[in-house]
Structure 1
Amino acid sequence: MAGKHLRAITGYVLAAVTVAPLLWMLVTVLKPKDEIFRAELPSELTLDNLIYALTEIPIGKYMLNSAIVSVIVTVVALVLHSMAAYALARLRFPGRQVIFGTIVSTLLVSLPVILVPLFLVVKELGLLDTYAGLILPAIFHAFGIFLLRQYYLNIPRELEEASDLDGCGYFRRWWQVIVPVSRPVLASLAVLFFLANWNAFLWPLTATRDPELRMVQVGIATLQGQYGSAWNYVLAATVIAAVPTLIAFVIGQRRLVEAIKTSGLK
């Protein structure tokens, strides 16, 4: 019983530590301008900071750029990762395990390690300051292929054998049988891919100079220099930029947990 209470108290403490900065940021954004630097609670709540961020700061343009990149990367990555994972899970060909091991090993390589060669390749292809330069390098990620492969290994082969009787080839088998039954894991990966690309900072900062192509995190970082003494506006822009991520997580959190539970190693 004591251990149960200890775990509950630990959980409450961790939750408070996690939520406290978010509450502080939200309260600060809703404070009047002349009370920003006061430690006490505001005498009244106002939306002036949010209105200023929406009207005077190009946060809408930044969010549109992030939405374009995030949605395209998510859709293309799900299709290509699903195809690759199905081939690695179901098809038999020489070097299959070696290829899978090589793909998984790329999880050990972080973006800063390959940032310079990636920048040089994109520059040689003439993709700097373009949407393509932001999208193409972000499509491949070994985690998506790994998670989908583990999920596909748990799908009964009888489903595919039944489709063979109808004369389905590999593509139709993947599209008509595998994809429909893997909607939970695809939905969870869609949430993860969208959040990762929405919050991307290092590569968008490296690959773009044009202010019209700034993604939301890069745009907020530039505001810190422009509004260094008025960080209530920076916080307001941050709150606005966080809304799509919260919506995406709330919509997909249940499927995310289900996919992780059903994608155990095999």
Structure 2
Amino acid sequence: MREVSTRSRAPRILIAGVLVVGGLAMMFPFVWTVVTSLTPGANLGSPIRLWPENPSLGAYEILFTERPFARVVMNSLMLAAITTIVQLFTSATAAYAFSRLPFRGRGIVFAVYLATMMIPLQVLIVPLFAQLRTFGLLNTYLGALLPTFATAFGIFLLRQAINQVPRELDEAATLDGAGHFRIFATIILPNIKPALATLTIFAFMGSWNSFLWPLIVLRDPNLQTLPIALSGLQGQYTTAWDVVMAGSVISVLPMLAIYLFAQKYIIQGVASSGIK
């Protein structure tokens, strides 16, 4: 019995060991970034350390005193929050229409809309730039936000989630006199929370890490976003890597916070994905 028990535990121990090694490998870059940001005068040629030598918050002080980093962070937070909220609204309402409202050519329209996912942003930059210049929206927050208000991926994700909600719930609500708006608000949205949480993370992360479009549209230094400000921390000949790493740590913290907030809904979605 002991031999059988040992054999049955061996695969679990092996899997646990692989997961631990993989987790440590994934955590190491972040730990090294934090350690470098706390090490005064650190550079990429220094020996790799897991504990800072003479730890100091001087790099963070430089970011917020010698550079307008607080405004940069607020710019990115504002753009990411607005983008996420608007994408959740547009994606959820459009997904409900594609899933629950029958109309002629619905499948074709949805397929054409999904096909736009294959068009890279680089192809659209010139026409978008020309349109915004015509409307006088260059170098404005609205100009940076408009192209991000709708996303084909978000509509696809939420449509698939809505399709999993039993239509019998809609029919029962209709018999009670509920209309589409009430069904959408009281039945559909509560049942697709995991998908909404997933879209929240993707939308926030996409806006927070966006570099090319804000770089082209937002020329005013007071309107800069975090990725653009981080690229400006690297000098032409010398680079204060502790300051760069401090900026990198700050850029990771909001993403970590929003993931910790939404992870329970994502886990619920994974756990219930195979339940009929």
What TM-score does the superposition give when structure 1 sets the normalisation length? 0.89
Indicate which of 132, 145, 151 corresponds to 2:155.
145
Distance 1:36 1:104, change over 3 A: closer
SS of match in other structure, 2:234: helix
Q: Indicate the residue corresponding to 1:174 in structure 2.
A: 184
Q: Is the 8 A contact 2:64 2:70 kept in 1?
A: yes
Residues 165-211 of structure 1 deviation map (CA, whole Å, 9 limit, x = unaligned): 23222223212322233223212211221121111111111111011
Distance 1:168 1:227, change over 3 A: farther
- How far apart are 1:3 and its partner, in Å? 6.1
Higher Cα Rg, which structure: 2
Alignment of 1:238 with 2:248, yes or no, is yes
The 5-angstrom pairing of residues 149-160 of structure 1 reads: 149-160=159-170
The 5-angstrom pairing of residues 89-128 of structure 1 reads: 89-128=99-138
Q: Indicate the residue corresponding to 1:218 in structure 2.
A: 228
SS of match in other structure, 1:229: coil
SS of match in other structure, 1:127: coil
Q: Indicate the residue corresponding to 2:61 in structure 1.
A: 51
Alignment of 1:19 with 2:19, yes or no, is no
- Percent of paired sites with the same residue: 38
Distance 1:59 1:171, change over 3 A: same
Residues 111-158 of structure 1 deviation map (CA, whole Å, 9 limit, x = unaligned): 122222222222222211111111110122111111111111111112
Q: Indicate the residue corresponding to 1:199 in structure 2.
A: 209
Distance 1:36 1:90, change over 3 A: closer
- How far apart are 1:36 and its partner, in Å? 7.9
SS of match in other structure, 2:235: helix
Letter in 1 for 2:139: D
Q: Is the 8 A contact 1:188 1:259 kept in 2?
A: no
Which segments of 5 or more consecutive residues in structure 1 lack a partner in the other structure?
none
Q: Indicate the residue corresponding to 2:3 in structure 1.
A: none
- How far apart are 1:66 and its partner, in Å? 0.8
Whole-angstrom distance in 2 between the partners of 1:168 and 1:179:
15
Whole-angstrom distance in 1 between the partners of 2:43 and 2:56:
11
Distance 1:251 1:158, change over 3 A: same
Whole-angstrom distance in 2 between the partners of 1:17 and 1:34:
22
Alignment of 1:72 with 2:82, yes or no, is yes
Aligned residues: 265
Q: Indicate the residue corresponding to 1:39 in structure 2.
A: 47
Which segments of 5 or more consecutive residues in structure 2 lack a partner in the other structure?
1-6
Letter in 1 for 2:76: S
Distance 1:125 1:27, change over 3 A: same
SS of match in other structure, 1:224: coil
Q: Is the 8 A contact 2:42 2:240 kept in 1?
A: no
Indicate which of 198, 214, 217 corresponds to 1:188.
198
SS of match in other structure, 1:152: helix
Residues 61-93 of structure 1 deviation map (CA, whole Å, 9 limit, x = unaligned): 111111111111111111111111011111111
Report the aligned-residue RMSD: 2.5
Q: Is the 8 A contact 1:189 1:256 kept in 2?
A: no
Q: Indicate the residue corresponding to 2:266 in structure 1.
A: 256
